[in-house]
Amino acid sequence: MMENGNEPRIDVRSVVEAVSANDAVDAPLYEVESMCMRCGENGTTRFLLTLIPHFRKVLLSAFDCPHCGERNNEVQFAGEIQPRGCCYHMEVPAGDHKMFSRQVVKSESASIKIPELDFEIPPEAQRGSLSTVEGILVRAADELEALQEERRKVDPKTAEAIDQFLTKLRACATAETSFTFILDDPAGNSFIENPYAPSPDPTLTIKFYERTPEQQAALGYLSAPSQAEQANEGTSSVETTLPHGSIGATAGHRAIAQSNSTEIAENLFRYTAPEEVMTFPSTCGACTKRCETRMFVTKIPYFQEVIVMASTCDECGYRNSELKPGGSIPEKGKRITLSVRNVSDLSRDVIKSDTAGVKIPELDLELASGTLGGIVTTVEGLVMKISESLERVHGFTFGDSLGESKKNKWIEFRSRLTKLLSLEEPWTLILDDGLANSFIAPVTDDIKDDDQLTFEEYQRSWEQNDELGLNDIDTSSADAAYVSIDTAKA
């Protein structure tokens, strides 16, 4: 498909049809003629929309030039950007060649780091790819070595320094030395295989985080106005906008001043909590238009004060709600243990914060903090979310290269996880929250009478405080200010 005799014309409609296909399994293979960037002749690019089982829908593209032999492939994600970014830390010991065969999905927004070498592959250096740990390292070394002969002619010192670095990098790629492999993706669409799944991998740590404004902008989340301008707009709007429900409260205060009992009742009871529901302007995370966010502070019995926030966008219809803990940071962590014995236990309300880990000892299942984010659900809903999360995260569960024994292991685990909801035998649910912001509701009027539910407080370790960012908090200035205020009052 040529246009003007020298430029390729890609059949865009075919590519769009591939991306838009509902059934990725039966999606056809599309071929288009495109120009080779090495020799300038025409080669063939093949597109295939496929679904990596229990991971995500991806668009695979492969180019092949019959004239010069140039070949390359790329992975692009056809799904949505995840709510939070993800960061994988994997410790690779020397001599362990099995670690290098782990499959890695690297999106176009992900970066790869090896701290021991002070080495980083930025997102623009390697595009989205489906490879292994060894494949990524070898490719990086080959690309660095490609222009070494030209560098030696122009800048011998730089070429010599790169040669020394390549020796270290290839030592890592051949398992001669230990190193740390870090995969950081603000879009949350990257992945490193866990061969021990669904059990945790002792060498692999996964962290989920909120994106910074710069990362949001790089992913295309922000519109043309700068965030600073939007922040200034939001500040001025907050100053001139009355909180939602405060109209009724203001009228009630006026009625109290005028001693009009009829108007007091009419105005104050127009809203269930007239001064507690507030509305302030914000920016839609989907279309970047101005929208409204409502915030409500309430106290959950036997638990603590929480902040409920809900956002709605009239432009695109986006809706989002989340629950945040209120009050001060607890001095101790909390471990909640529930013995699930009957159907009523499955309907217990559960608040799982984004700092809580989940354990089910009967399945040898342990989810690190942040895996499911902060959710408000029931015991049954939590088990279902765990199942969905495992199927999404462990993307290569039923790939073509998976052995029959591992496949049977996964099928058996999913069957055991489903049986939890049938209550064929009692099981235990444990929420371990370093910030004590999680909760499981009792079924009795007095929480002390619920013998199936136990709460245990514990002292956080230095590592837990460091992971939560508590070791970096400096309150000396605030403490000094409070002391001076108390002294002045005295």
pLDDT of the residue at 25: 43
Give pLDDT tens digits along the chain (490 positions).
333 333 333 333 343 344 344 444 455 678 888 888 888 888 998 888 776 654 556 777 888 899 988 888 777 666 667 778 889 999 999 888 888 888 888 888 899 999 999 899 888 777 777 788 988 898 888 888 888 888 888 888 888 988 899 999 988 888 888 999 999 998 888 888 887 776 778 888 888 888 888 888 787 765 444 443 444 444 443 333 334 343 344 554 454 444 444 454 444 444 444 446 777 888 887 777 888 888 877 777 767 777 777 888 888 777 777 777 777 788 889 999 999 999 899 999 898 888 888 999 998 888 877 777 778 889 998 998 888 777 665 544 455 555 677 777 777 887 888 888 888 889 999 999 988 888 898 888 778 888 999 999 999 888 888 877 777 777 677 667 667 776 766 6
Question: How far is 85 from 283, CA to CA, in rounded Å?
Answer: 19
Question: How far is 479 from 490, CA to CA, in rounded Å?
Answer: 17
Is the sign of the CA dihedral 310, 311, 317, 318 positive or negative?
negative
Question: How far is 83 from 128, CA to CA, in rounded Å?
Answer: 19
pLDDT of the residue at 412: 81
pLDDT of the residue at 340: 93
User: Identical fold at 2-77 and 333-395+403-459?
Assistant: no
Question: How far is 340 from 450, CA to CA, in rounded Å?
Answer: 12
pLDDT of the residue at 264: 45
pLDDT of the residue at 411: 77
Q: Which residue has the tokens 């902040």?
A: 307
Question: How far is 172 from 167, CA to CA, in rounded Å?
Answer: 9
pLDDT of the residue at 335: 93
For 2-77, CATH number?
2.20.25.420
Domain 333-395+403-459 falls in which CATH fold?
Jelly Rolls (2.60.120)
In the structure encoding, which two tokens stand for residue 221, read together?
């989340």
DSSP-derived 3-state class of residue 201: coil
**Where are the domains positioned within the chain?**
2-77, 85-218, 227-325, 333-395+403-459, 464-490
DSSP-derived 3-state class of residue 293: strand
Is the sign of the CA dihedral 417, 421, 423, 426 positive or negative?
positive
Q: Residues 315, 289: contact at Cβ < 8 Å?
A: yes
Which helix or strand (DSSP H or E) is residue 48 part of? Answer: strand 42-51
Q: Does domain 85-218 have CATH number 2.60.120.1040?
A: yes
Task: Output 234-238 pairs: Cβ under 8 A, ≥24 positions apart.
Answer: 234/280, 234/281, 234/282, 234/283, 237/280, 237/281, 238/280, 238/281
pLDDT of the residue at 27: 57
Question: How far is 114 from 183, CA to CA, in rounded Å?
Answer: 9
- Give the contacts of 406 (CB within 8 A, at least 6 positions apart): 195
CATH class for the domain made up of 227-325: mainly beta
